[in-house]
Amino acid sequence: MTFKAQNYFSIIGLVLLALALVGCAVGDPYGSAKNKIPEIKSDMGRIFVYRSRNPFALFHSRIFTLDGKHLADTLASTVFYYDAKPGPHVVDYNNGLSKLNINLSAGGKIYLKYSIVSDGTVKGNTAVEIIDPKIAEADLPGLQLIKPEIRHPDELKKLTGK
C-alpha cells in the first residue's frame, strides 16, 4: 500500500471515529427532551446556545460568556438554554475580541449558534450569530440537550489566564 493510500485510509478512519463520537455527547436528544424543558418565568427570558454537528470541530469546546461571566462551554452537536433577566446583554467570544449585543424580552427566546470558522485572522475562531427561531427549531432535534456548565476548565484557563 502506498503512503498516499495509507494517509487516505487514516483520514477516513479519523472521520468515522469523530462521527461516532459526535453521538456520544452527554445529554438527552433534544427532540425527546424538549417537552421536559420548564416554561420560562414571566420575569425572565431564555437564551438557547447550540452548535451543529461538525466532526472536525468535535474536540474544540467554546465558552459561552454573557455580560462578562463565563457560564458554560459549548460542544459540537449540543444545545443548552440559560435563563436571564430581560434587557440588553453582551455575548463575548474569541477571547473577548468579538462581541454580540442581544436584547432579551421577558418571556422571550433568543437562539445563538456557535460555529468554528477560519475568518482570515485566525483559523479556528468562533462565530456567534442570532438565528431565526423557526430555523433554530429545525436545527435542534438532532442535537443533545446538555446542562449549562463548564466541562472543560482548560478552555476557561485560556480565557482567564488562571
User: 9: number of CA atoms within 13 Å, CB side?
Assistant: 6
**124 Rama sector, left if φ>0, alpha if ψ -120 to 50, beta otherwise:** left
Residue 96 has a pLDDT of 85
The full set of domain ranges for the chain reads: 3-160
Residue 116 or residue 30, greater confidence: 30
How far is residue 62's CA from residue 153's CA, in Å, rounded to a whole number?
A: 11
pTM of the predicted model as reported, rounded to 2 decimal places = 0.79
Chain mean pLDDT for the chain: 82
**pLDDT above 60: residue 58:** no
Flag whether pLDDT at 69 surpasses 70: yes
Side by side, which strands form the sheet with 144-145? 28-29, 144-145, 78-84, 45-51, 109-118, 123-131
How high is the pLDDT of residue 23?
44
Q: Is residue 22's pLDDT more than 50? A: no
Look at residue 46 in the predicted model and tell me its pLDDT. Answer: 98
Q: What contacts 101, CB < 8 A, 6 or more positions away? A: 88, 89, 90, 91
